[in-house]
Amino acid sequence: MNKQAFLAALAGLSLACATTKGGESSSDAVVAKAAPAASELGTNLALNKPAVSSSDEKPELAAKAAVDGSLTTRWSSNFFTDAKPADAWIYVDLGEKTAIQTVLLNWEAAYGTEFTIMASDDAKEWKVIAEEKDGHAGKVIVKLKEPVETRFVKMQGIKRGTPYGYSLWEFEVYGK
């Protein structure tokens, strides 16, 4: 690579970093890596709402542990018995159609590298509202460009970050 090409590549790299930092993206969803203050997101609409999962590794690692507001309890999908462990999912029922704009996934060490966020009014017909291809352990914040009206909000796993299941300390949903 000559000097000019190297500088051009470097400029591209810093532009990519700035794009990530600024939270701007050309895709439908913006994924922020840093957690905003809780007050910026408002009320967690998923807190203590009914949650359903494709499977649970153990009874104490059930779906409800991802919406109980506790960072010492978690949901884990079952990676021993699931025919397709990478397809595991969890959804929360907000109780009524609600405008949502942010989903915060607080992943345990067993995180999802690739997953989608889906919306539904009946828990049968699902629509993809965001896609993430760079998941990591810890907090992953998926911010939609526009609010979406939905009753059910789902994390649909596509690719696991580890050979284990998908495990979330908390699955949080916000209106802004």
Binding site for Ca ion (CB under 5 A): 65, 68, 70, 73, 170
Which position's Cβ is nearest Ca ion?
73
Shortest Å distance, C-beta 168 to Ca ion: 8
Q: What are phi and psi of 47, to 5 degrees?
A: -60, 120
**Nearest distance, CB of residue 169 and Ca ion, angstroms:** 5
Task: Between 29 and 54, name the residue whose CB sits nearer to Ca ion.
Answer: 54
Question: What radius of gyration do the chain's Cα atoms show?
Answer: 17
Q: Are 45 and 94 in contact (CB under 8 A)?
A: yes
CA distance 110 to 125: 28
Quote the CA–CA distance of 102 and 162 in Å, as a whole number.
25
Query: Which residue number, 73 or 98, has a Cβ lying nearer to Ca ion?
Result: 73
Look-up of token digits 């009874």: 59
- DSSP annotation of 126 reads -
Residue 96 beta carbon to Ca ion: minimum distance, rounded to whole angstroms: 23
Nearer CB in complex with Ca ion: 68/82: 68
Residue 133 has which token pair? 């291809």
Cα→Cα distances 160→95, 99, 114, Å: 29, 29, 7
The least distance separating Ca ion from the CB of residue 10, rounded to whole angstroms, comes to 42
Q: How far is the CB of 71 from Ca ion (least distance, A)?
A: 6
